[in-house]
Amino acid sequence: MFEQLSRRLEEAMKKLRGEARLTDENVADSLRDVRRALLEADVELDVAKSFVAKVKERALGQSVTLSVTPGEHMIKVLHDSLVETLGGEAAEPNFPGNPTLVMMVGLQGSGKTTSAAKLANHLKEKRARRPMLVACDVYRPAAVDQLQVLGKKIGVPVHAEPGEKDVLAIAKRGRQAARDAACDLVIFDTAGRLQIDELLMDELLKLKKELQPQEIVFVADAMTGQEAVRVAKTFHEKLSISGAILTKTDGDARGGAALSLREATKARLLYVGTGEGIAAFEVFDPQRMAGRILGMGDVVGLVERAQERLDQGEVERLGKRMFKNQFDLEDMLAQIRQVRKLGSVMDIVGMLPGAGKLKEKAGEIDEKAIVRVEAVISSMTKQERKSPKIIDGKRRARIAKGSGTDLQQVNQVLKQYDQMKQMMQQFSKMGGKMKQMQKLMGARGKGGGMGGFPGMPGF
């Protein structure tokens, strides 16, 4: 996400690199580029203007200390202004009340139903809440079904009345059902339309009047840019939304929505959706988002993700096997599966510093290659994975056929494995140093972030 915006901002800042000090002129010059970059990223014009004015005032108002160059100073000012615009300090929203009533609103396809389930799951897992989901989207044919399926998956009760069209009645009965079940959080998935229309707004308004929810959460698709802001404004005017969730930040959104949403509605950005899976949901962090926009990376986010999604026990086991030189193809498969839990290569690269440039390189990485390696190893028998030496020409042909690849690709996987094995042998030979390395890579320590993650040659 945001790579284009980060690249443009990087370029704008580069102009200041040769300058000895900041003047009205060179600041104005670089800010013109900043403004253009923001507009290109689909930031709303008014937001871009007021943002640039804020940056200018700060840049000229502060004296540049001797230890930093004007370019660095500008980046800091830009970063701080972004953080401020995005909402300042990160904080997990606390949804007070018993029960807390939350209405999810937004256009169809924005990710409302998915986010309702993600939110329920998040608050259940992280805050020990007892949520219930109420299916009030009676117009999109599959929405009720979808919520029921998701509820089942995360172990959260869903109040749904398939066939019933009276939204108000469903909501009231849902609220009662939540009380009866001693749930302390009720999330209402409301209807969306492809575009805003009066009927939809009226219905939501009635629902709001009836429920008097503590929170009205607007769900916005990060991919829709400026359009999302226009929609948010309308929802805000009618319903006065209290917070927002930005979905699909894993896609190649241009980044405008994140910046403009908050300015347009003053509602807090609460969470971001970072993928289709239920766990792809994070507390919104202005600092981190600003870092990503500026191409400064999000290493903290990456480490957190590793801690959350990776099976630490498994990582530790793989690390140990690697250092004992016992790593076989079975382990390589397990390792690939762990890596894939972190997200796509593009997604991971996007979180590293200098993402803008790295992404161009990563674009050359064939995401499917990783899937192919998985397919090839999956097509081997257990015995073959344990002792790859037995894989002769005949077996190779069978594996190629079974995995839908070809002989060359099977050979390549085996070669990669061999290279890895050789590398590990060298590690083992390093004797005393090995233990040190083992420690470094976290094969022992728990919660060691990305630690213990064996390198993957060939990717």
Tokens of 401: 């056929």
Chosen residue from 3, 44, 215, 250 binding ligand GDP by CB under 6 A:
250
Contact flag: residue 275 with ligand GDP (CB under 6 A)? yes
Helix (H) or strand (E) holding 257: helix 256-265
Positive/negative CA dihedral, 28, 30, 34, 39 = positive
Q: Which is nearer to ligand GDP, 247 or 265 (CB)?
A: 247
Please state, in angstroms and rounded to a whole number, the distance separating the CA atoms of residues 113 and 146.
8
Contact flag: residue 122 with ligand GDP (CB under 6 A)? no
DSSP secondary structure code for residue 80 in this structure: H
Q: Which is nearer to ligand GDP, 73 or 159 (CB)?
A: 159
Please state, in angstroms and rounded to a whole number, the distance separating the CA atoms of residues 113 and 137.
9
Residue nearest ligand GDP by beta-carbon distance: 273
Tokens of 97: 């009340």
Q: Which is nearer to ligand GDP, 26 or 113 (CB)?
A: 113
Stretch that binds ligand GDP, among 154-162, 177-185, 270-278, 327-335 (CB under 6 A): 270-278
Q: For the CB of residue 89, give the shortest distance to ligand GDP in the complex, in Å.
A: 23
With H, G, I as helix, E, B as strand and everything else as coil, classify residue 132: strand
Q: For the CB of residue 364, give the shortest distance to ligand GDP in the complex, in Å.
A: 22
Please state, in angstroms and rounded to a whole number, the distance separating the CA atoms of residues 457 and 459.
6
Closest CA to 220 of 177, 256, 188, 168: 256
Q: Which is nearer to ligand GDP, 192 or 213 (CB)?
A: 192
Please state, in angstroms and rounded to a whole number, the distance separating the CA atoms of residues 169 and 374.
49
Please state, in angstroms and rounded to a whole number, the distance separating the CA atoms of residues 48 and 36.
9
Q: For the CB of residue 123, give the shortest distance to ligand GDP in the complex, in Å.
A: 17
Q: Which is nearer to ligand GDP, 10 or 145 (CB)?
A: 145
- In the numeric block, the tokens 């870092």 are attached to 291
**First vs last C-alpha separation in the chain:** 21
Q: For the CB of residue 149, give the shortest distance to ligand GDP in the complex, in Å.
A: 11
Residue 100 contacts residue 212 (beta carbons within 8 Å): no
Q: For the CB of residue 115, give the shortest distance to ligand GDP in the complex, in Å.
A: 6
Q: Which is nearer to ligand GDP, 278 or 434 (CB)?
A: 278
With H, G, I as helix, E, B as strand and everything else as coil, classify residue 387: coil
Binding mask 37-66 for ligand GDP (x = CB under 6 A): ------------------------------
Q: Which is nearer to ligand GDP, 106 or 174 (CB)?
A: 106
Q: Which is nearer to ligand GDP, 133 or 414 (CB)?
A: 133
Q: Which is nearer to ligand GDP, 174 or 451 (CB)?
A: 174
- In the numeric block, the tokens 């191409």 are attached to 295
Stretch that binds ligand GDP, among 161-169, 245-253, 354-362, 407-415 (CB under 6 A): 245-253
Q: For the CB of residue 48, give the shortest distance to ligand GDP in the complex, in Å.
A: 25
Tokens of 121: 């799951």
Q: How many other C-beta atoms can be found within 10 angstroms of the C-beta atom of residue 143?
A: 22
Contact flag: residue 247 with ligand GDP (CB under 6 A)? yes
Binding mask 192-221 for ligand GDP (x = CB under 6 A): x-----------------------------
Residues 6 or more apart whose CB falls under 8 angstroms from that of 371 comprise none
Binding mask 130-159 for ligand GDP (x = CB under 6 A): ----------x--x----------------
Q: Which is nearer to ligand GDP, 1 or 9 (CB)?
A: 1
| DSSP codes, 262-322 | HHHH-PEEEEEE-SSSTT-EEE--HHHHHHHHTT---HHHHHHHHHHHS-HHHHHHHHHHH
Binding mask 77-116 for ligand GDP (x = CB under 6 A): -----------------------------x-xxxxxxx--
Instruction: List residues binding ligand GDP (CB under 6 A).
Output: 106, 108-114, 140, 143, 192, 247-248, 250-251, 273-276, 280
